[in-house]
Amino acid sequence: MRDTVPVDVVLVAVRAFLGGMILAHGYRKFFGGGRLPGTARWFESIGVRPGAFNAVAAASTEVGVGVLLLLGLLTPLAAAGLVSLMTVAIVTVHRRNGFFIFNHGEGIEYTLGVAVCSLVPGVLGPGRFSLDHLWGVAAWSPTLRLVLTLGLGVGAAALQLAAFYRPSRERDV
């Protein structure tokens, strides 16, 4: 039998980073800074309307995805949620600023990196130290996990953008 403990430990580390990071973003939208009203105003300013609805949806998705990744529960769906969040962030905020995050307005470097890293637990599975493993969800094939993670992630982002993204002409140029 092959020793998979090192891989399982790395998968826990990746899930912990991604889950904790996105959970903190959602928590901040609910309880920090400008809270939901401030997030709603910012969403309106970048053309994501209605801002209030999207602020609640984004914060809830971030918290939910974070908790699922931390637990290793429904990992491909959680990873798809993170891919979706990052895809929307790339399109609405970062794409016009180039690649590097240190560019004015922040480029796509960070958000693209998070989306790509989300594929690791989404496709490889959550590892042995997860609720998915305990309940047999981790037995899904890598191909199915790829389709779920990437397909649902990009598909959900496309639907969200089509339904709610209405940038002003000046901003989109």
**Cα gap 150→148, rounded to integer Å:** 6
pLDDT at res. 173: 47
Q: Binning pLDDT at 50, 70 and 90, where does residue 1 land? A: low
Q: Please, which residues bridge with residue 165 across strands?
A: 48
**Cα gap 31→35, rounded to integer Å:** 5
Instruction: Please state, as a whole number, how many other Cβ atoms lie within 10 Å of the Cβ of residue 107.
Output: 20
Q: Binning pLDDT at 50, 70 and 90, where does residue 26 land? A: very high
Tell whether the model's pLDDT for residue 41 goes beyond 70: yes
Average pLDDT, whole number, for the chain? 94
Instruction: Please state, as a whole number, how many other Cβ atoms lie within 10 Å of the Cβ of residue 68.
Output: 24
The CA distances from residue 86 to 5, 6, 22, 80, 132, in Å, are 30, 28, 10, 10, 24
pLDDT at res. 118: 98
Determine the average pLDDT of the residues in 15-27: 98
Determine the average pLDDT of the residues in 90-99: 95
Please compute, for residue 156, the number of CA atoms within 13 A of its CA located in the half-sphere on the CB side: 22
Residue-wise pLDDT for 100-147, tens only, equals 999 998 999 999 999 999 999 999 999 999 999 999 877 789 999 999
Residues 6+ apart with CB under 8 A from 119: 79, 83, 146, 149, 150
Determine the average pLDDT of the residues in 70-79: 97
**Cα gap 59→20, rounded to integer Å:** 14
Tell whether the model's pLDDT for residue 2 goes beyond 80: no
Q: What is the domain partition of the chain in residue ranges?
A: 5-167
Tell whether the model's pLDDT for residue 172 goes beyond 90: no
**Cα gap 127→170, rounded to integer Å:** 46
With beta carbons less than 8 A apart as the criterion, state whether 47 and 41 touch: no
Determine the average pLDDT of the residues in 147-162: 97
DSSP code of residue 95: G
Tell whether the model's pLDDT for residue 96 goes beyond 70: yes
pLDDT at res. 136: 84
Name residue, tokens 């993204």.
165
